[in-house]
Structure 1
Amino acid sequence: MKWFDKKTVVLCVAFLTVFLLVVSAARLQNRYPLMSRIAATVLTPFDYVFSGLAGAIQAGTLFTRDLATVYRENQTLRVENQELRHVVFQLTEKAAENERLQAMLEFRTKTVAFQMKAAAVIGRDPGTLNYSLLINQGASDGIRVNMPVVTHQGLVGHVTEVFGGTAKVRLLLDVNSSAAAMVQRPQSRAVGIVEGNPAQTVLLRMKNLLRDSDVIKGDKIMTSGLGGIYPKGLLIGEVVDVVDDDGGLLKNAMIHPAVDFSRLEEVFVIIGERSPVRP
């Protein structure tokens, strides 16, 4: 196997010759000016090539160094960007939590008629019809079955099962839930029963309304205080449609719930009514 081919040998000899000529020209510059000028004329192209090669090598070295610097800075910026995103996420979550808690605090302060205990939602029923929640307050916290559950928006449901430190809440959307209700409007005060609507799971249905009952779209519906579970005056929702029963003497009102059940995170359990303050 040949280590060097002819072209390589010729190239090496040429560079060596040029190198020796450069050295000789430098030594003989003062002694032989004519030879020096001839050598300078001959070697100028080679000097230009060597200078270009040296400049290219230097530029390549600087480019590589700058590229490495940019890469390190990019990695640093990427880490800082991820950290900032995490901080923004935490601040946004804290702001949302503060907004919810502020609304709950205002509701609790204004609602002087009931004794309430705050609870956090720690679980949900994955079913589509039997809606329920699990809260972090239970028998050891004074929670009992059939206690109403509310938020600052309105009625949520009632407690159906109680454990040591947790309790299960059946939502008003559940088809097995019902609440005695009435129209808030003073000119009406029509009464009926609000229950979960199996036909439209995002709406409630107010039934047992007489066909001539004064119920119109936009009416606010609240608990009537009848039935033994829910006290009077808890907001249920707003009427969005009124439908007559086929061949009957009654009609139904479709109600959009006041509570956004899909976003429940904190609730209040009504554990009792406050005694009125005597003057």
Structure 2
Amino acid sequence: MSSRVRKDKNPHRKTWAVLFVIVSLFCIIFFAAKGRFQAPANSKAVSLVLSPFQQTAAWIGGQLDYVTSTIWDIATAHEQNKLLRNEVEQLRIQNLEASEAMAENERLRTMLGYRQMTTQFDLVAARVIGRESATWSRMIVINRGQKDGVDVDMVVVTADGLVGHIVEAGWNTSKVQLILDPRSSVGTIVQRAESRVAGIVQGDMNNPTMPQMVNIAKNADVVEGDVIVTSGFGGIYPKGIVVGRVSSIENDAGGLLKIGLLETAVDFQKLEDVMVITASREAPPEPIKPPVQTPGTETDPAAQAAEAKAAAAGENQR
């Protein structure tokens, strides 16, 4: 009983299904036979009947094409974006490597120029590979040691000026005490010819970046802006290496001496490459030129030779 009621609820379902099948078959036959025969009388009627189906099919086909092309474009754009990101990352790495290589090349060129100018020094190039973090200690570690001819008390410099000296020399690494260390002591002198005041440069625990030039007499000729170089006193540091420039002058606690605060020639925050002086020779003195003398004087060797030659010729004539 229930199944019969259920069938009675949809009496037109079979009718609509049959009509749909008939229309579908008609469409298939029409499209298959289109162009093989002419039906001028019924062409308008057929077109009118099939027009909604054609429009629907065309719309569905267009939408499918649009969706397909959109999905393809999205997939292609995603892949291209991925490739472009990888390329940008590679170019960024190459740019960083090129910049680092240029900076290193510039440093090495500067070091080579310094080596060519300071012929009185035998130099070994080294790279900073470590720093001590203690606040009271100013130490660096370099990648050169005894196998490279580096030993204790050898001086470390850059093209800008004095860095410090070796305090520990291992087989392939060494530890350098900077002039910023409070335990460091460097004999120095004012480079200005009118002054030539001597003093000692040592690190300041209260001002880690600016060492002090101490033991300066209160009336000594030292002013702001004076260039301070090594004096050669003490037997470690050769003479004439730039230490820094006087930034300011202060009186010491007793009031009898002055203290000069120095702005170092070397930028220790950017210290990467250094040179170790493995041997030092005084620059050869310029040849002494004899003074210009009046011909015929006893101190003129040429005049003496000419006079002796003339005397010998006169005796032969006699």
Which of these residues, 152, 165, 168, is aligned with residue 175 of structure 2? 168
Which of these residues, 105, 110, 128, is aligned with residue 103 of structure 1? 110
Distance 1:63 1:147 in 2: 73
Taking the TM superposition and a 5 Å limit, the aligned residue runs for 1:55-70 are 55-70=62-77
Which of these residues, 167, 171, 184, is aligned with residue 177 of structure 1? 184
Q: Please name the residue that 2:129 is paired with.
A: 122
Contact 1:207–1:252, Cα closer than 8 Å, also in 2: yes
Percentage of matched positions with identical amino acids: 40
Structure 1's 121 and 24: CA in aligned 2 closer, same or farther, altered over 3 A? closer
Q: Please name the residue that 2:199 is paired with.
A: 192
Structure 1's 123 and 28: CA in aligned 2 closer, same or farther, altered over 3 A? closer
Which of these residues, 139, 143, 148, is aligned with residue 136 of structure 1? 143
Distance 1:28 1:275 in 2: 111
Please say which structure displays the higher CA radius of gyration. Answer: 2
Per-residue CA deviation, residues 138-170 of structure 1 (Å, 9 max, x unaligned), is 223322211111110100001101112221110
Distance 1:190 1:196 in 2: 19
Which of these residues, 48, 51, 54, is aligned with residue 47 of structure 1? 54
Task: Compare 228-237 and 34-43 and name the one that shifted more.
Answer: 34-43
Measure how far apart 1:18 and its partner are: 4.2
Structure 1's 99 and 249: CA in aligned 2 closer, same or farther, altered over 3 A? same
Structure 1's 120 and 109: CA in aligned 2 closer, same or farther, altered over 3 A? same
Distance 1:87 1:139 in 2: 36
Measure how far apart 1:120 and its partner are: 2.0
Contact 1:160–1:169, Cα closer than 8 Å, also in 2: yes
Q: Which runs of 5+ in 2 are unaligned?
A: 1-9, 288-318
Distance 1:28 1:67 in 2: 39
The number of equivalent residue pairs is 271
Which of these residues, 259, 266, 280, is aligned with residue 252 of structure 1? 259
Task: Compare 217-226 and 102-111 and name the one that shifted more.
Answer: 217-226
Measure how far apart 1:247 and its partner are: 4.1
Distance 1:149 1:78 in 2: 45
Structure 1's 52 and 186: CA in aligned 2 closer, same or farther, altered over 3 A? same
Structure 1's 16 and 90: CA in aligned 2 closer, same or farther, altered over 3 A? farther
**TM-score with structure 2 setting the length:** 0.78
Measure how far apart 1:45 and its partner are: 2.3
Contact 1:104–1:151, Cα closer than 8 Å, also in 2: yes
Which of these residues, 207, 222, 228, is aligned with residue 221 of structure 1? 228
